[in-house]
Amino acid sequence: MRSTRYAEAAYAVTRLIVGFLYACHGAQKLFGAFGKPAATADPKMLVAGTIELAGGLLVAAGLFTSLAAFVASGQMAAAYFMVHAPRGFWPIENQGELAAVYCFFFLAIAAVGGGLYSLDAVRHARQRSPRTVSSAALARARMGISHDPGA
């Protein structure tokens, strides 16, 4: 029997760490962080860095998670086929393992969504919460009218 007791928490921590690490790649490309020079002179690297930084932070926070992860997955697929695949067929040969892992991990996140511990969950909970009663509805209720006669 498999335990699901900590599944949501484990998913949230994994999403957070992978998103943060992906964002670090974007910070490296855009700002020259972590010992690498910025790569903003190349328009492709500017786009890649922006997707990595923004997408990574959104996935880590669990905000617009499915969309951000889907875009990140596509960007990693493009990176794999544009940069790594020309160097050889196998990811171990062409040093594309990380791009492939990110691609499929983000595809899984896009399918699952933010999960229980995410800003998406908070956002959805607020959307489902009871709306404030309009003053017209309150007046109808006080007068014993159960429906809106104008509707």
138 domain-assigned: yes
Q: What's the CA gap between 117 and 23, in Å, rounded?
A: 19
In terms of residue numbers, what domain contains 31?
A: 7-142
97 domain-assigned: yes
141 band by pLDDT with thresholds 50, 70 and 90: low
31 domain-assigned: yes
pLDDT in tens, 88-101: 999 999 999 999 99
150 domain-assigned: no
Q: Over pLDDT 90: what percentage of the chain? A: 77
pTM of the model: 0.81
Q: Over pLDDT 70: what percentage of the chain? A: 83
109 domain-assigned: yes
Residue 101: both structure tokens together: 């892992």
Q: Shortest CA distance to 95 belongs to which of 105, 83, 78, 113? A: 83
Task: Give pairs for 49-53: CB < 8 Å, separation 24+.
Answer: 49/25, 50/26, 51/26, 51/75, 52/22, 52/23, 52/25, 52/26, 53/23, 53/26, 53/27, 53/29
Q: Is the pLDDT of residue 132 over 60?
A: no
Q: Is the pLDDT of residue 106 over 80?
A: yes
Domains of the chain: total? 1
Q: What's the CA gap between 130 and 117, in Å, rounded?
A: 21
Q: What's the CA gap between 99 and 144, in Å, rounded?
A: 64
51 band by pLDDT with thresholds 50, 70 and 90: very high
Mean pLDDT (the chain) is 89
30 and 49 in contact (C-beta within 8 Å)?
Answer: yes
125 domain-assigned: yes
148 domain-assigned: no
Q: What's the CA gap between 88 and 79, in Å, rounded?
A: 14
Residue 117: both structure tokens together: 């511990």
Q: Is the pLDDT of residue 19 over 80?
A: yes
92 domain-assigned: yes
